[in-house]
Amino acid sequence: MGISKRNIPVLLLIALVVIVQLITAGTDTSFYLTQLTMTAYYSLVIIGLCLLMGYAGQLSLGHAGFFAIGGYVSAALTTHNLIGLRHNQLIELLNKTGLLSMGQDIYGEKILTVIPWAACLAAILVTIIIAFAIGKPVLKLKGHYLAMATLGFGIIIFRFAMATEYFGEADGISGVPPFHLLPGLTVSGDFGARISNYYIAWGLVLLGMILSLNLVNSRVGRALRAIHGSEEAAAAMGINASRFKLYTFVISAVFAALAGVMLTHYNGGIGPSEASVMKSVRYVAIIAIGGMSSLWGALCMGVILNFMSLRGMFGSYDGAVFGAILVAMMLFAPDGILRLPLLKKLWRKNGPARN
């Protein structure tokens, strides 16, 4: 992969990520990295959803559901103590294969849980299965029907998390252990591991971005854009529209679930608010503000808005500020903030080609 025009933004992003870290280290403000790390994981959801909405043209008002599936499955598996079941044959078998770990919590209780790697893979697997099962019928729908179906899916996941004891009901799950990715690399909220976590999170965002950009510019991407333009025409060209849409749906669900897994380990817990309809609406809105089929636009808006919101900058007016931005953007800049007439000029002149 040579340095073509397409790769310049990616390199810029890498540079920016490093520069931000260096600046915070230099000015003794590395506490900003906490929210920047959380923001990165939400951005991963947004990249995936942007792929689905902007390129495959499919709305999803239930993406927080996939995030929650990832987070909850991983959290439940790594926290529920299996010590009472250790003589159960299945548990014994799992224990022998090294999928379980025996440890102590910080209060000295003995606990036997699934190791985070296995839990993470299980979470992704569950997500893929659910995304296939849901995606197949849902993606046949269009317009408001599609909106309702995905919204409904999100509500079901939310209610399920709220009603099920295994998932902690309204309290959610706390005490999720750190996730040892590789020797020396651990996803956890430890104050000491802040910088490495920042790089893990943004590394994932970069990977997601590169993957998405390549997908968009590949044969698949062209097919997707053809579908977005006109499904009938695409079908006439021999593109299996429904299959491409389904794959994109599953990929974007996996992005969301992976973000859920990582953020849950980073935060040490997850609560039902992560699955709420408002969260899904937020993701969709950020993509709309970023300009629907612009991965970079969505990423920018996602980082800015999530960062400000997580730092509590809007206080009790978080919802109001967000609503106002939504309405204003959709009224005056329906193609996204990067396509405002003024910015558009600059963008055309100096910026990279539109993806």
Partner 1 sequence: MALAAGAALLFAFLPSTGMAKTIKIGAILAESGPAGFLGQPEAKTLRMLVAQTNARGGVAGYKVELLLKDSAGKKEQAVSLARQLIEEDKVFAIIGPTRSGSTMAIKNIAEQAKTILISCASTKAIVDPVAKYVFKTPQNDSLAARMILQEMKKEGITKIAVVVGGTGFGKMGKMFVNKLAPEYGISVLMNETYSPRATDLSPLVTKMMANKDIQGVVNWSIVPAQTILAKNMRQQKWNVPLFLSHGFGNIKYVQAGGAAMEGIKFPADRLLIADSLPASNPQRAVLVKYKHDYESKYHEPVSTFGGHAYDAFKILCKAIAKAGGPDTEKVRTAIENMTFIGTGGIFHFSPTDHSGLKIDAFDMMVVKNGKFTKF
Partner 2 sequence: MSLQLFTQYLFSGITYGILYAIVAIGFNIIYNTTGIINFAQGEFVMLGGMCAISLHEYMPLPAAILLAVIITGIIGGLIEIIFIRWLDSPSVLRMIIITIGLSILIREAALFVWGESVRSLPYFNGDAVTSVQIFGANISPQVLWVIGVCSVIVVGLSLFFQFTYAGREMRACAANRTAATLCGINTRSKITWSFMLSAGIGAVAGCVMSPITYTQYDIGPGLAIKGFTVVILGGLGNSMAAVAAGLLLGIVESFSIIVVPMAYQEVISIAILLIVLFVRPHGLFGSSETACLQDF
Q: Which residues contact partner 1 by CB under 8 A?
A: 29, 31, 34-35, 38, 106-107, 109, 162-163, 168-172, 174-175, 189-191, 263, 267-271, 273-274, 310-312, 315-316, 318-319
Query: Minimum distance from CB of 127 to partner 2 (Å)?
Result: 18
Residue 140 interacts with partner 2 (CB under 8 A): yes or no: yes
The enclosing H or E element of 111 equals strand 110-114
315 contact, one of partner 2, partner 1, none, CB 5-8 Å limit per kind: partner 1
Strands 173-174, 269-270: pairing kind: antiparallel
Find the Cα–Cα–Cα–Cα dihedral 235, 236, 237, 241, rounded to 10°: 0
Nearest to 152 by CA among 92, 65, 45: 65
Residue type, 119: A
- From partner 1, partner 2, none, which one binds at residue 331 (CB under 5 to 8 Å depending on kind)? partner 2
**Interacting partner of 109 out of partner 1, partner 2, none (Cβ under 5 to 8 A depending on kind):** partner 1
Find the shortest distance in angstroms from Cβ 231 to partner 2: 9
Q: Say if residues 83 and 136 touch (Cβ distance below 8 Å).
A: no
What 160-166 contacts at long range (C-beta under 8 Å, 24+ apart), as own/partner pairs, is 161/68, 161/72, 161/272, 161/275, 162/272, 166/76, 166/80
Cα first-last separation, the chain: 18
Q: Which stretch binds partner 2 (CB under 8 A): 11-19, 35-43, 92-100, 283-291?
A: 283-291
Amino acid at 145: Y
Touching partner 2, residues 318-337 (CB under 8 A): 319-320, 322-327, 330-331, 334
Q: Which two tokens stand for residue 41?
A: 């994981």
Cβ-based nearer residue to partner 1, 54 or 168: 168
Q: Which spans of this chain sit near partner 2 (rule: CB under 8 A)?
A: 57, 59, 137-138, 140-145, 147-149, 151-153, 155-156, 159-160, 162-163, 277-278, 281, 284-285, 288, 292, 317, 319-320, 322-327, 330-331, 334
